[in-house]
Amino acid sequence: MGQGGAPARTAFVTLVTNADYAMGAVALARSLLKTGTTADIVVLHTGAVDSQALAPLVTLGCRLVEVAHLPLSEPFNERHARRNLHGAAPFTKGRKPDFHTPLDNFCKLRLWQLTEYTRCVFIDADAIVLKNIDRLFDYPEFSAAPNVYESLADFHRLNSGVFVARPSLATFEAMLVALDEPDRFWRRTDQSFLETFFPEWHGLPVFMNMLQYVWFNLPDLWDWKSIAILHYQYEKPWERDHPKSSELKPLIDLWHDVYAGRDVDPASLPQPPGRP
């Protein structure tokens, strides 16, 4: 049920696969609640997350839905295990934390099983929302923002950290078939798959999924007044002394303020280095 006891038709959905991402989901949920959204906040979580890590999300009024890994073949799981996937397709632009497990990423496809909702917006748990984004529910399936953080040439690639979807069991079943085709290798897991499954995906504004590396790679693209969702791709803001911590300090400080429930005015935040 949605707020006020009315039937819920829309939901923001995230995925939690360990205690670290549970902490991220707390910051995400707090940021969404501050926007005054009337949509549900649904947290898909795997059995690897204990109840203590999930408790703050319950307190915030999130709906928790436990999910299992997708029923995929053993060869598929072996190809996409961390050691094999990162060996075949290493991350060269940034560093993924030790708790990153590629097979977990595919669990976000469980969103299509949430058929009690007419429209869902998925947001990765390593993101925060800076303004009301309920208008995203009016976008068609499948909508996502571009994977821009290094070059404008990447506008043709999507980033699956934020997307708009329409739950459907038929779509979910079709995904399972397409996902596990013999010898298929999804270089960037769910992101590569969704880009292939929805080849004519609709583009969201880049500000609906502003990747943190834009801060130092494309500072002219950074505009606090426009940014609706800030996504901490690669290194996470709750990690201690990660390799980009000094470069990203204002963004890390912002995440900690949101996580702690402190009010933040983005207009008061500093501009990227080199910007007035």
pLDDT tens, residue by residue, 225-237: 999 999 999 999 9
| pLDDT at 6 > cutoff 80 | no
- Whether the predicted pLDDT of 130 surpasses 80: yes
Is the pLDDT at 154 greater than 70? The verdict is: yes
Report the pLDDT averaged over residues 5-18. Answer: 84
Q: What is the pTM of this model?
A: 0.90
Name the band, by pLDDT with cuts 50, 70 and 90, for residue 7: low
Q: How far apart are CA 35 and CA 32, in angstroms?
A: 5
The total number of structural domains that make up the chain: 1
Residue 129 falls inside a structural domain: yes
Cis omega before residue 137 (within 30°)? no
Residue 231 lies in a domain: yes
In a domain, 98, yes or no: yes
At residue 183, does pLDDT exceed 80? no
Q: Let me know if residue 275 belongs to a domain.
A: no
* Contacts of residue 26, Cβ cutoff 8 Å, sequence gap at least 6: 56, 57, 60, 259
Which pLDDT score, from 0 to 100, does residue 87 have? Answer: 46
Question: What was the pLDDT predicted at 8?
Answer: 54
pLDDT 10s digits, 49-105: 999 999 999 999 999 999 999 998 888 888 867 555 444 445 445 555 454 578 899
pLDDT tens by residue, 32-65: 999 999 999 999 999 989 999 999 999 999 999 9
131, 208 contact by CB (below 8 A): no
Residue 186 one-letter amino acid: W
Q: Which of 183-192, 224-233, 235-244 has the lowest mean pLDDT?
A: 183-192
Structure confidence at residue 160 (pLDDT): 96
> Residue 217: is its pLDDT beyond 90?
yes
CATH number at residue 39: 3.90.550.10
The total number of residues written for the chain in this structure: 276
What is the mean pLDDT of the segment spanning 247-254? 97
CB neighbours (10 Å) of residue 198?
A: 17
Q: Does 258 fall in a domain?
A: yes
Q: Is the dihedral of CA 24, 37, 158, 243 positive or negative?
A: negative
Structural domain of residue 221, as residue ranges?
3-268
Residue 236 lies in a domain: yes
Residue-by-residue DSSP string for the chain: --GGGPPP-EEEEEEE-SHHHHHHHHHHHHHHHHTT--SEEEEEE-TTS-HHHHHHHHHTTPEEEE-------HHHHHHTSHHHHHHHS---SS---TT--HHHHGGGGGGGG-TT-SEEEEE-TTEEE-S--GGGGGSPSSEEEE--SS-GGGGGSEEEEEEEE---HHHHHHHHHHHT-TT---TTTHHHHHHHHSTTPEEPPGGGGEETTHHHH-GGG--TTT--EEE--SS-TTSTT-TTTTTTHHHHHHHHHHHTT----GGGSPPPTT--
Distance, in Å, from the CA atom of 235 to the CA atom of 212, rounded to the nearest integer, reads 9
Is 147 part of a structural domain of the chain?
A: yes
Supply the pLDDT for residue 184: 84
Q: What mean pLDDT, rounded, does the chain reach? A: 90
Q: What's the token pair of residue 165?
A: 């979807």
Residue found by looking up tokens 């949509």 in the block: 39
| Average pLDDT for 126-148 | 97
In this model, does residue 223 exceed pLDDT 50?
Answer: yes
Q: 256 and 237 in contact (C-beta within 8 Å)?
A: yes
276 within a domain of the structure (yes/no): no
